[in-house]
Structure 1
Amino acid sequence: MKLITWGFWLAVFLAALLLLLLALDYPPILRVIARNLKYELSHPMGNAPHRLTLPLGHENDIYCGWVGHSTWIIEFEGVRLITDPVFSDRVALMRRRVASAINPENIDSLDGVLVTHAHVDHLDPKSLRQLPAGTPLLLPEGDDPLVAGIPLSLAPMRGYGTHRLKDVTVTAFASPHIGRRHSLSTPRETLLYLLQKNGRSIAFFGDTAFAPALAEAVRSACPGGVDAAFIPIAGYAPEAFHREHATPEEALQMALAMGARTIIPMHYETFILSQEPVDEPLRRLLAAAEEAGVSDRIRQTAVGGVLRLTGGQ
């Protein structure tokens, strides 16, 4: 009985210590969890407004289908990639607001998987296991243990490293965002991936703080500007989160600095991971684009929607 009592109090102490460490890392996280629980009790998970079917389009253009959050299927002139694949209904304690727009079993072939960093809403081992075996998996160097045993072909990346996926050249740039799995794990890089083929280019952000130097580095690699930039626009409230997540206005500024002719917002609507109103990030982005006179560059879509990037963009 005495051993059981000591074991019980040890468990309580460890749980309290873990909560304290979590709170010290991100003090508002407990309020975000409470917000999620309140939302879940009053709202069922919604269906994706549209469902994705493959292929998204023909091989002469670039097609991008939004699975939700930071998960996109990108068909780059016949090369099919997926970014930060998360199909699960829940990441940690956070349930999706909107279901995934595709069942992973319907993804019959892939040429590459791009994971930007280790946070649970970007790297989901359960989802990775559901992808076609043997597909190359690009992820930050040092995050390999998180995907141990998953039958994908690992290609660890670091800032300014390059990798070829068929005839698409992928260059990684480090973003100012701590990519560790949790508060006790070692910090790793968060990556922006620049995809290039046949003179066309896409910049795909991971999470990032406002980083003019990052935009300048991408512009140096693509002096003529990029055809499209996928930008995260949520997760900036409260200020403790803003230190690692750009506001919609800051994300727009970075996209414009790298010469993006098309700007595609993401990382909003699917999960509640911060404290700003769910509909605020897109409203602020559209208002900032109108003020800057670049509204025609913004291409947003509902979850499950497909965007076509023609050669003239």
Structure 2
Amino acid sequence: MILVILLMMATESSSSHSPLDFAKPLRSGGRFANPPSFDKWKGISGFWSLLKWRMFEKDNSSIPDDNAELDEKLPVHNLTKFESKSGSSLFATWLGHATVLVQMEGIRFITDPVWSKRVSFSQWVGPRRYRPPPMEIEDLPELHFGVISHDHYDHLDSETVMKIDELNPQMRWFVPLGMKEWMSSIGIHNSEDYPEKVTEMEWGENQSFRTKNGNVTVWCLPAQHWGQRGAFDRNKRLWSGWAVMTANRRFYYTGDTGFCDREFKKIGDRLGPFDLAAIPIGAYCPRWIMKSQHVDPHEAVKIHELVKSKFSMGIHWGTYHMGSYEYYLEPKELLDDIVHKKTDLPPFVTLEMGQIWEEGQVPNSDSKSS
């Protein structure tokens, strides 16, 4: 991003280092870095690159100020109850940006929950939200756990996380290395009552545990990105993707990432196929500055194929004015165009916010996109 710039508590739990040779992050001086296998990683842009971007690149986002136009182009479904109409064992909804709510064989979890009006250190400055959340935090169902991909403000919001945890005191949180201390700073930490409230993980680690609705395994997976919340904490917390596995279903969330065919192929070969994947499609222009850290729709489709996803939803677009310069509807339009031309591709769609997808459905099934 441009930084302005439940579980009824597990009765059994186990954690392990995976024998699978997923990439490991580099570490030096208390900071993390992307490994050499991420061969397209070019580093984080410096001051002069950012200045060049702002001075000479044209902003084509053209986000309307007119709410009526936004309601037509990016409708938001008012969602007060999260449930399957067909009794499906796997269903999900997009709550905006990178926030996805999933129920999989009775187990409910959420990715990168953010409800704030701005994604910044202050609610007075920074990227603003131009589409509202489809439901209030209070209307969320009971959650068994949440996963956090990294510490950028558009993926980690303290007020949201605290409120969700307050409403779900028995839920667990899975976070990348270095983030446990941050969670503790907002009052969410392991305790005598909840000894596994926060689990910190490295790429390739997994944890299996039991809920009242069944067993689940959570994997922390590589992503090509970076982290920072303040002026002096760049890359002190790791970034990651996540996979969630129940007895008969598998879910994958990339987190924010650039493209690395080698690592995504490993994920697909060793943990796939996935029944559902959440893959970012927005905040990718200009490419010369964004390519290392954010995939575009073309690369998102490649990830969809490499991880062997049976159904993917495009996320990380249409919610906040992130400062990237692509036209605000381009992520969806470009994805639609790519998918229409690949007739043998498993469904990869964009959902409307608050629209509930159920396994076996393809929204607007006359095409492969909605």
| Fold match by TM threshold 0.5 | yes
Aligned to 2:187: 150
Aligned to 2:223: 175
Structure 1 residues 63, 150: closer, same or farther in 2, change over 3 A?
farther
Aligned to 2:329: 279
Which 10-residue stretch deviates more, 212-221 or 277-286? 212-221
Q: Contact (CA 8 Å) 2:146, 2:173: kept in 1 or not?
A: yes
SS in 2 for 1:130: helix
Displacement of 1:236: 1.1
Aligned to 1:186: 234
The answer as to 2:181 corresponding to 1:137 is no
SS in 2 for 1:95: coil
What is the rounded CA distance, in whole Å, between the counterparts of 1:28 and 1:295 in structure 2?
Answer: 38
For 1:54, the aligned partner's letter is K
For 2:314, the aligned partner's letter is P
What is the rounded CA distance, in whole Å, between the counterparts of 1:214 and 1:161 in structure 2?
Answer: 15
Aligned to 2:366: none
| Aligned alpha-carbon RMSD (Å) | 3.0
Query: Could you state the TM-score of these two structures normalised by the residue count of structure 1?
Result: 0.83
**Alignment equivalent of 2:80, drawn from 43, 47, 53:** 53
What is the rounded CA distance, in whole Å, between the counterparts of 2:346 and 2:186 in structure 1?
Answer: 45
Structure 1 residues 71, 200: closer, same or farther in 2, change over 3 A?
same
- List runs of 5+ in structure 1 lacking aligned partners: 1-17
The answer as to 2:275 corresponding to 1:227 is yes
Aligned to 1:9: none
What is the rounded CA distance, in whole Å, between the counterparts of 1:114 and 1:24 in structure 2?
Answer: 35
**Alignment equivalent of 2:96, drawn from 68, 84, 94:** 68
Q: Contact (CA 8 Å) 2:309, 2:346: kept in 1 or not?
A: no
Displacement of 1:205: 1.3
What is the rounded CA distance, in whole Å, between the counterparts of 2:108 and 2:49 in structure 1?
Answer: 37
For 2:258, the aligned partner's letter is A
For 1:229, the aligned partner's letter is A
Aligned residues: 290
Structure 1 residues 73, 228: closer, same or farther in 2, change over 3 A?
same
For 1:230, the aligned partner's letter is A
Q: Contact (CA 8 Å) 2:152, 2:228: kept in 1 or not?
A: yes
Displacement of 1:175: 0.4
Equivalences for residues 1-313 of structure 1 within 5 A: 23=47, 26-27=50-51, 42-43=65-66, 49-57=76-84, 60-92=88-120, 93-131=126-164, 132-147=168-183, 148-151=185-188, 153-164=197-208, 166=211, 167-182=215-230, 184-187=232-235, 188-222=237-271, 225-238=273-286, 239-273=288-322, 274-294=324-344, 297-310=347-360
Q: Relative contact order (C-alpha < 8 Å, sep 6+): which is higher?
A: 2
- List runs of 5+ in structure 2 lacking aligned partners: 6-44, 121-125, 190-196, 362-370
Identity percentage over the alignment?
22
What is the rounded CA distance, in whole Å, between the counterparts of 1:182 and 1:151 in structure 2?
Answer: 20
By percentage of residues, which structure has more helix?
1
Displacement of 1:194: 1.0
